[in-house]
Amino acid sequence: MTDTSAQPRVVIFDTTLRDGEQSPGATMTHEEKLEIAGLLDEMGVDVIEAGFPIASEGDFAAVSEIAKRAKNSTICGLSRANFKDIDRCWEAVKHAKSPRIHTFIGTSPLHRAIPNLTMDEMADRIHQTVTHARNLCDNVQWSAMDATRTEHDYLCRVVEIAIKAGATTINIPDTVGYTAPRESADLIRMLLERVPGADEVIFSTHCHNDLGMATANSLAAVEAGARQIECTINGLGERAGNAALEEVVMALKVRNDIMPFATGIDTTKIMHLSRRVATVSGFPVQFNKAIVGKNAFLHESGIHQDGVLKNVETFEIMRPETIGLTAKNIAMGKHSGRAALRAKMKELGVELGDNQLNDLFVRFKALADRKKEVYDDDLLALVSDSDTHEAHDTLQVRRLRVICGTEGPQEAELTLAIDGVEHSIDATGDGPVDAAFNAVKMLWPHKVNLQLYQVHAVTEGTDAQATVSVRIEEDGRIATGQSADTDTIVASVKAYVNALNRLIERRKKSNPGDDVKTVDYRDAG
């Protein structure tokens, strides 16, 4: 194994909880944000961007609590280029052992036009706001939003101003995923060469994936001298997302021969984080996604299988264990006991308390009765499922029978507990899922837009569990729900009801639209 201790260190800045959570529908609860932040901290992420404190009370509370709890990571919050945002951000991050204020403004012609600032006025604003942030906090990051479409001369000018005003990290975002690797490298090189004081700060890259080049662009920037990569777990983020943490970290590890840079990431924690983020954000990972996709280590063709059996390196450039995937996939049988289940879950990176273990054990036994083989992925789906259904939920699915087949109409008989009181109804629909969802609507009338309904098989075989993800929207509030069951219709109804329960929680806590980040990025003043 290569000794990377003497290699330049690349700061890994994770923005899953800010840019990632900004993707419509990926909103996480307070507890989920704390859990993800805890896992990122344990994994060795250098900087966690925990949220956008001015965006909502919820964001502020999450950033403050994450700041209080962080053991190792620097905790950062985002703020626009105005004193109010920066003060609010500081109020939230100041609790951290190592706080950072991140402030940004759009510097390209398109972005300058919106707040209608001249080049000079914007330069002045940058000087004032970075100075203000630096008076509050020693660690200040400044971002030139849409840097890759900003005139070079102007970019050099404003970067120099930010450095002189005290910024310690200069972030050069490719906000719209427009750049390409060579250009990304040239831009960083140009800034390092031309801007006075550039050698005294860390240059950072923040690449969006609109053209599928985010990871390549980030790595090219590092080769040119950037020393911070902003990324998210599973590449979550606005539109097509951001550079994926697992991709940049594993690329630096596996191709350390040509990219000799070190990170502080414990890569064995990657798979667990990826699964947790997929569950809590409601954004499942595509099967063929690099590193963390379900197929990333599967070999299907005969030639590949044969090669791997003879020498695993023929078709594998990294070992699954490196990212925390256990080699042994057949997990547990009907006769396995509690101790074996606890040990297995520990191996999968899930630590369970006694009550959680008892609950999982009951559900595992029920599954083992229905399914011949219970795989690691089945167990993880069970854990995620129990995480998403709480005893205090307003709506709880008690019983469901569905009649379907070639002769319609399809029918669903549903018993739903609403605030603990059981109600039953029969409904019909255009297919069994529609019938079952109609039954929910009749028992608990509501008007929501169903934005996404997605079914995945957890493992292979006709007895596989299905995981269902549902995303709904009501007055700008978005809620996602998930569930897993060997019966696809049961999983569908539970996922739908889970999304409704989350919506009910949000109705209680927020005003319409609060879940969608309505902070106006143009409001720099």
Site string for ligand KIV, 9-48 (x = CB under 6 A): ----------x-----------------------------
Between 208 and 502, whose beta carbon lies closer to ligand KIV? 208
Query: How far, CA to CA in Å, does 213 sit from each of 210, 239, 258?
Result: 7, 14, 19
Cβ–Cβ < 8 Å for 265, 44: yes
Torsional sign, CA 209, 212, 215, 217: negative
Q: 352 phi and psi, to 5 degrees?
A: -115, 140
Between 74 and 209, whose beta carbon lies closer to Zn ion? 209
Task: Compute the least distance from the CB of residue 169 to Zn ion, in Å.
Answer: 15
For residues 103 and 398, what is the distance between their CA atoms, to the nearest angstrom? 49
For residues 405 and 32, what is the distance between their CA atoms, to the nearest angstrom? 40
**Binding residues for Zn ion, how many (CB under 5 A)?**
1
Task: Compute the least distance from the CB of residue 175 to ligand KIV, in Å.
Answer: 3
Site string for Zn ion, 49-78 (x = CB under 5 A): ------------------------------
Between 83 and 521, whose beta carbon lies closer to ligand KIV? 521
Between 143 and 410, whose beta carbon lies closer to ligand KIV? 143
Helix (H, G, I), strand (E, B) or coil at 317: coil
**Binding residues for ligand KIV, how many (CB under 6 A)?**
9
How many of the other CB atoms lie within 10 Å of CB of 8?
A: 11
Query: How far, CA to CA in Å, does 395 sit from each of 420, 421, 446?
Result: 8, 9, 13
Choose the contact partner of 104 out of ligand KIV, Zn ion, none; CB within 5 to 8 A by kind.
ligand KIV
* Best CA proximity match to 371, nearest among 333, 420, 327, 426: 333
Whether 208 has a binding-site annotation, put simply, is yes
Between 173 and 481, whose beta carbon lies closer to ligand KIV? 173
Helix 119-136 × helix 83-93 angle, to 10°: 30
- Please report which residue ranges of 115-211 form alpha helices under DSSP H: 119-136, 152-165, 181-194
Between 104 and 203, whose beta carbon lies closer to ligand KIV? 104
Choose the contact partner of 145 out of ligand KIV, Zn ion, none; CB within 5 to 8 A by kind.
ligand KIV
Helix 245-254 × helix 214-223 angle, to 10°: 50
Q: Residue 206, interface with ligand KIV (CB under 6 A)? A: yes
Choose the contact partner of 143 out of Zn ion, ligand KIV, none; CB within 5 to 8 A by kind.
ligand KIV
Cβ–Cβ < 8 Å for 17, 28: yes
HEC secondary structure over 78-131: EEECCHHHHHHHHHHHCCCCCEEEEEEEECCHHHHHCCCCCHHHHHHHHHHHHH
Whether 266 has a binding-site annotation, put simply, is no
Between 145 and 155, whose beta carbon lies closer to ligand KIV? 145
Task: Compute the least distance from the CB of residue 143 to ligand KIV, in Å.
Answer: 4
Whether 446 has a binding-site annotation, put simply, is no
* Best CA proximity match to 234, nearest among 263, 211, 214: 214
Site string for Zn ion, 124-163 (x = CB under 5 A): ----------------------------------------
Instruction: Provide the edge-to-edge strand list for the sheet that holds 449-457.
Output: 449-457, 466-474, 477-485
Task: Compute the least distance from the CB of residue 177 to ligand KIV, in Å.
Answer: 9
Between 51 and 284, whose beta carbon lies closer to ligand KIV? 51
Residues 99-118 that bind ligand KIV (CB under 6 A): 104
Torsional sign, CA 382, 383, 388, 391: positive
Binding test (CB under 6 A) with ligand KIV, winner from 53, 99, 115, 173: 173
Choose the contact partner of 148 out of Zn ion, ligand KIV, none; CB within 5 to 8 A by kind.
none
Task: Compute the least distance from the CB of residue 143 to Zn ion, in Å.
Answer: 9
The one-letter amino acid code at 288 reads N
Task: Compute the least distance from the CB of residue 523 to ligand KIV, in Å.
Answer: 13
Whether 19 has a binding-site annotation, put simply, is yes
Cβ–Cβ < 8 Å for 380, 350: yes
Biggest alpha carbon–alpha carbon distance for the chain: 76
Q: Quick one: which segment of 16-24, 148-156, 430-438, 486-494 binds Zn ion (CB under 5 A)?
A: 16-24
**What residue numbers does the annotated binding site for Mn(2+) cover?**
19, 206, 208, 242
Q: Which chain residues interact with ligand KIV by CB under 6 A? A: 19, 104, 143, 145, 171, 173, 175, 206, 208
Q: Which chain residues interact with Zn ion by CB under 5 A? A: 19
